[in-house]
Structure 1
């Protein structure tokens, strides 16, 4: 079982990931081939689905403690399934990791185009954290 987690949306922000997991982990830039990331309609966060010929840039958190996984599962909720994937790090290593994939039955909720992380940082993160105030208390 992998202990790494590939993130591609709000959890790319170390402060959000640390609050959700109640732990700080080392991280490296990484990418996941064969997927695309799209905005979820009327939300600040993205969904990721399999898509041949595409790739998603993200952050790979390394060696998560066992206590982080139930908290992450609760945070991601019913829209996502946790799946094992092969992730390529910026330094060329291929590592096995868990990631959260948007459920196929819900893909009609995905908007067109690529979810924009820089726009999220500039204008969406504050709204996101206000809406999800308390995610740092998951599992308590």
Structure 2
């Protein structure tokens, strides 16, 4: 199974934290990391917004092909991985099927988490992955209650 990530899950550290909650064993993290294939990709007809007062973004699908969001295609996810990711994303998002342009030139069908909560929670400013990695990721990873699966 595959998903297109456009936010915090583009970070392998965040992704592995979600897929292996509570795991600190390097062998498990390394093994899981080897089962996943990540490559850069672009989703046309979408915009990424900053969610007000949060460190994560939202994706809105548009009808304009010139609207584009750069992200990562993640392949090799198991059904249990998808379940964990669904719970991580919560009720603000819904998984939808899309076609993306992958770095290898393929145009695979995959799924993406689309924002379904009220749009007034979104800032017009585009969310910045590099800012997240340098200014927010360490605090997110250190906060043990950020993601606890049910």
Residue 130 (structure 2) aligns with: 118
Residue 29 (structure 2) aligns with: none
Residue 99 (structure 1) aligns with: 112
SS at match of 2:125: coil
CA spacing shift, 1:114–1:4, aligned 2, 3 Å:
same
Q: Is 2:149 aligned against 1:138?
A: yes
Residue 88 (structure 2) aligns with: 75
How many Å apart are 1:114 and its aligned residue? Answer: 1.1
**Deviation string for 1:26-50 (max 9, x for gaps)?**
1100110000001000000000001
In the alignment, structure 2 segments of 5+ residues that lack a partner are 21-31
C-alpha RMSD of the superposition: 1.6
* TM-score when normalising by structure 2: 0.83
Q: Is 2:5 aligned against 1:7?
A: yes
Residue 46 (structure 1) aligns with: 57
Which of the two has greater strand per residue?
Answer: 1
Alpha-carbon separation, structure 2, partners of 1:115 and 1:50: 15
Q: Which has the larger radius of gyration?
A: 2
CA spacing shift, 1:115–1:134, aligned 2, 3 Å:
closer
Alpha-carbon separation, structure 1, partners of 2:106 and 2:15: 22
Deviates more, 1:33-42 or 1:16-25: 16-25
Alpha-carbon separation, structure 2, partners of 1:106 and 1:37: 15
Runs of 4+ in 1 over 6 A off after TM superposition: none
CA spacing shift, 1:85–1:132, aligned 2, 3 Å:
farther
How many Å apart are 1:18 and its aligned residue? Answer: 1.6
Residue 62 (structure 1) aligns with: 75
* TM-score when normalising by structure 1: 0.88
How many Å apart are 1:131 and its aligned residue? Answer: 4.5
Contact 2:46 2:61 in 1 (8 A): yes
